[in-house]
Every structure is written in C-alpha cells, then in structure tokens.
Chain A
C-alpha cells in the first residue's frame, strides 16, 4: 500500500470537513456512477428474468394439451386431428427433423467447400466479392425464399424429382409414389440455401485461424494443395465446422414461413420424401389464427417442443464452437462466439 506513491499521497492528504479525503469525490458526485452501474446491471438481469418468465408462461399455456394427451404421447403420438381434438405431434416432429436433416446434408458440404475456396484456393482479388455474395443469401427474407421456392423452384424440379422417385422406388420412404409440388425434399433444399451463409461464415472464420506454419509445413513436406487442406486445415477446424453446422441446424429447425409455404401443411406423415407433410413451426403459423381452446394449447405445446429442441441443438453447437476455440488456446467471448461475422451471417 505505502509502496504506491499515489496511495501514499491519498492517505497522507488532509481531510476536508466531513472526514473525506481530498482526492475522493463527494457522495453526490459519485451518484451518477452508482446509477449507471446499477441501471445497467438491472438491464442485464431483466433479460434473464424475461426469458425465464416467458418460458414459465409458455409451459403454463401448453399444460392443458399435455394434461390431456400426456407429454410422451403428445410428442410421439402419430395423430394430429383438430376436429377430433386429438393431438399427437409426431408428424410435425418428423417433418421438422427430415427437412432439417436434408438441409444439413445438402447445405453443409456446399457451405464448407465455399469456405475452403474463399480462404485457401481463390485468387486474392476474388476473396472479398465471393464472401459478400454468399453473405447476401442471409439478407433475403424467409418469406421471399418461400415465394421463390413454391412458384419457381418446386414446379421446375417436379419432373426431376419424379424421375428420381421412380428410379429409387426400391428404397422405402425415399422413392415410389407420386411427387407433389410442396414436399419434404423441396423444403429441405430451400432450407439448405438458407443455412448456407451462417455455416459458411463460421467455417471461414475458423479456417482463417489455422496457423500459417501448419499449412507451410504441409506444403514444405511436398503435399499438394488438396492434401494440405485435408491434413492441415480440416482437422484443425473440425469442431468449429461441426459447431457451425449445428447452428445451421438450429436455424433450420426454427424456420417457419418458408417451411409453411413449401411443406404443404398436411397434418399426417408423408409416405415418402417427395410427399407433403407438416412441421412444428409451420403448424403454429398456419393454424394459430383460428385455433381455440385445446387446439390453441396444443399449438403452444408444439411451440414448447420446438423451443426445447432448438435449445438442445444450439447448446450443443455453442459447446463445440467454444471447445474449438479453447483447443486453439484462445479465450474470451470474441473467440468463443461467432462474433460480428457470425452476427452478420446470422442476420
């Protein structure tokens, strides 16, 4: 304490009237500081309180439906019949999962390839414009994706889909049967385009952190460009890319309007990939307006299932992205989260 000259000066300085040190501020002058400090803390606490409050109210609204059906048979019951007041959300859950899985299957390889090209292979001058173009996909509103999908993409691809369905008719749930214009596959395809920018942005961000030493070492040992990517870049980025893919999955699961337009809104399990179905988010958007009583409660329950599902997926994703950052010896939220670029792509 006394070794510090300032502290010594402060403690040695004469006190003013009220026993206050000369260099200290008066209590009145300290007031704004206290107000700002506690005001901002209250704001942060408000966010927490708000989310907890919303969650509790949502559970409360969903309770009648859960009470009638039972939680397990609500989630896994294969019967969504509004007229009979019978609500089993399996067709919705399956629709959500199938379309999201398709989106990952199609979207992630393309997104990662675009990220590899932008960071490792493209001419330096092309890098900026390429990044901007892929990010532009995030600026298109989901209702526009729906509009484009149903009036342009779906009719254009129907013939091809029918051809594929006929060829693959020996695989159950994939081929055979008549292709409808709105269906699981087309929904998954459009979702793949929608998650492309966020997966690509996060992959790109992780790839730029690969130390030049590693890449140069690989090239120095005689690796080709591709071998360098496979041996030095991809293993280093694996958990980051998986985390980005999971964030994309969360996005796909929660996507509402584009899915509502594209999936066909049929309240039963589709017989195969090219058949129409329903999803958790779509059922809320489509039926909420005219729903009453138990039906409405069932829709809240569907919202709760959706909320919990995205929570699980996102929690897993954050964990992976943070672990990837830790493994690289970085710390702090800037390294852990997707950061500004992630927020950009997320928008």
Chain B
C-alpha cells in the first residue's frame, strides 16, 4: 500500500476496523492453538513409548520367547521373539495374498472396467470393504475357516483376515497410481502392435511400480498394527513357530495380552513390544514416503 500518496481520508476508508482486526487475530490464534493441540498427543505418545519401552529393551528381550508363568516369576518373564517373528510371518503371507489380488483388481478397474456399471459396483464394494471394522473381518474368517471347517486357530487364518483388511488399501492406492500413467504411453505401445496384456506387463506396470510400492507398504504397515482380526484367527501362544498351520503369536496380540496383566514386569514388556511395533511400522512408513518422493508418477 502506498501510504505516502494516500490522503488521511482514503487511509481511513480502507483501514480494517479494530473489531475486525481483533476477531481476525483471535481466530488465527485459536487455529494455531488447535494445531498445536493436535500435535501434543503425538509428542506424549512418542515420549512415553521411548521412556517406558527403552527401559524394557534388554539383550534377551528380542531373543527369548515369553514364558507362561508371569505371575510369580517376575524376573524371567521372557522376551518377545515369538511375537516379532509371528508378526513378520503373518504379515508376509497376508501381503503375498493381498498384493497380487489387489493390484489385479486395480488393473481391471483401470484397464478394462473403466466406467462400466460392473466397475462402479466393484468400486462401491471396495469402499464397503474400507469401512468394515477390523474385528468383523476376524468374524468373517472365523465363521468360514473355523466354524465352517471345524478346525482350530492358525497363523494362515490370521493372514487371510489381515489380507482382507489390506485389500482395499492396495486396490485404492494402486488404482490412483495406474490412472496417472499417461494414456499416450499405452497408445504408443498399442500402435506399435503390442497386444493388450503385453502393454500392461511391459509399459503400464513398470511405470506405475514405484507409486504402487508406496501403497503396498502403507497397507503392510496398516496390517502389521492390527490386533482385533488376529484375536480369534491366529490366537496367542508363547512359542516361536514357523508352521503357519498352528497357533501363532504376534506383536499386537502380545501387547493386548500383557496390558491386562496385574504384574508390572509384564506391563513393561507390553511397552517394550509396543515400541518395537511402532518402530517397525514407522520404518515402513518412512520407506514408503521416500519411494513415493522418488517416483515420477504420483
């Protein structure tokens, strides 16, 4: 504003009244305060996790299984080896199921289905899947694979429940990335005589790959943190096992079990396990963000 050239009267005319200026300042102040408020829980959680969690991290913590007798023998409650390995096994199998299926459905939606009525229907059902509470996925798998077959809890049943949970995240993110592949690329390949499937395999998928990896890693991170679907699909056990057909421990279920314990040492083990889980999930998130920053598409 050219203050020198303006006469006092114009300045007065354009000036913002003090009431409006005050309201502006109050509103901006409260927005800033609310933003700070939003960050307080994060700071508190990270601080408390580090303080409590690091305290229970010890040399034997990652290399021993939890022991069953936790009430009297507070000194030897064991570590979380079976929980870490179980989480890795269950989530790996869940990703092996959810990623190919999810990417396949996303490919169909973008390359074949497009705006058709059936594609709209599939999109709607994917949205439905996104909203289904995680514990209901556990119920689904329980009904079909445990009530239905008369079997018991098993690691692979937990994986199936988690893969249902991860599926919509994979489909949604892959679809968004696939849509960003320039159609000129597809058209050039088709014009050169490449069949449709080869265009998908050699042109569309490689172009979209980095973006899709981001979505997949985020889905994995989501699956790794879930407790509810595992409670009555993979259940809880102390022992490390590499047999996906038997009961299998996992970090979230271990934490959930330990939270309800009356013994301080066991609760401390829950903090140690929680810190481990958060670090694992954060690493996945950071890698996902780095990859998405590198990729040209998305």
Contacts and interface: CB of A to CB of B under 8 A. Distances in A.
A170 interface: no
A71 B167 CA distance: 32
Interface string A26-56: 0001101101110111011111100101100
A95 B54 CA distance: 35
Contacts of B179: 332-334
Contacts of B111: 40
Contacts, number: 267
Interface stretch (A8-16, A147-155, A159-167, A208-216): A147-155
A261 interface: yes
Contacts of A51: 125, 128-129
Interface stretch (A76-84, A138-146, A173-181, A268-276): A138-146
B195 A344 contact: no
Interface string B119-141: 10111011111111111100110
Interface string B256-297: 100110000001001100100110011001000100000000
Nearest to B235: A289
Contact of A40 (B108, B173, B215, B231): B108
Contacts of B175: 333
A54 B131 contact: no
A113 interface: yes
B285 A139 contact: yes
A147 to B, nearest CB: 5
A121 B195 CA distance: 51
A303 B227 contact: no
B278 A141 contact: yes
Nearest to A314: B131
Contact of A121 (B32, B259, B271): B32
Contacts of A41: 108, 112-113
Contact of B274 (A147, A333, A344): A147
B77 interface: no
Contacts of B73: none
Nearest to A332: B179
Given A225-B28, A227-B24, A30 B271 contact: no
Contacts of B84: none
B144 A54 contact: yes
Interface stretch (A86-94, A236-244, A251-259): A251-259
A110 B34 contact: yes
A146 B48 contact: no
B107 interface: yes
Report the interface size class on chain A: 35 or more
A307 B132 contact: yes
Contact of B218 (A247, A285, A318, A344): A344
Contact of B14 (A35, A196, A222, A229): A222
Contact of A306 (B20, B136, B218, B282): B136
Given A143-B227, A225-B24, A281 B135 contact: yes
A148 to B, nearest CB: 5
A230 B255 CA distance: 45
B227 A142 contact: yes
Which of B16, B34, B147 gathers most chain A CB within 10 Å? B34
A277 interface: no
A33 B199 CA distance: 10
Interface of B: 14, 16, 20-21, 23-24, 27-28, 30-32, 34-35, 37-39, 41-42, 44-45, 48-49, 101, 104-105, 107-109, 111-113, 118-119, 121-123, 125-136, 139-140, 143-144, 147-148, 167, 169, 172-173, 175-177, 179, 195-197, 200, 211, 214-215, 218-219, 221-222, 224-228, 231-232, 252, 255-256, 259-260, 267, 270-271, 274, 277-278, 281-282, 285, 289, 298
Top 8 closest pairs, chain A to chain B, by CB:
A254-B133, A141-B225, A314-B131, A113-B34, A40-B108, A224-B24, A226-B27, A256-B228
Interface of A: 25, 29-30, 32-33, 35-37, 39-41, 43-48, 51, 53-54, 57-58, 61, 109-111, 113-114, 116-118, 121-122, 130, 132-134, 136-137, 139-148, 150-153, 193, 196, 200, 222, 224-227, 229-230, 247, 250, 253-257, 261, 281, 284-285, 288-289, 300, 303, 306-307, 310-311, 313-314, 318, 332-334, 337, 339-340, 342-344, 346-347
17 contacts: A32-B195, A41-B112, A51-B128, A51-B129, A54-B140, A57-B148, A61-B147, A133-B39, A143-B225, A146-B256, A147-B270, A152-B48, A196-B38, A254-B133, A303-B135, A337-B127, A347-B221
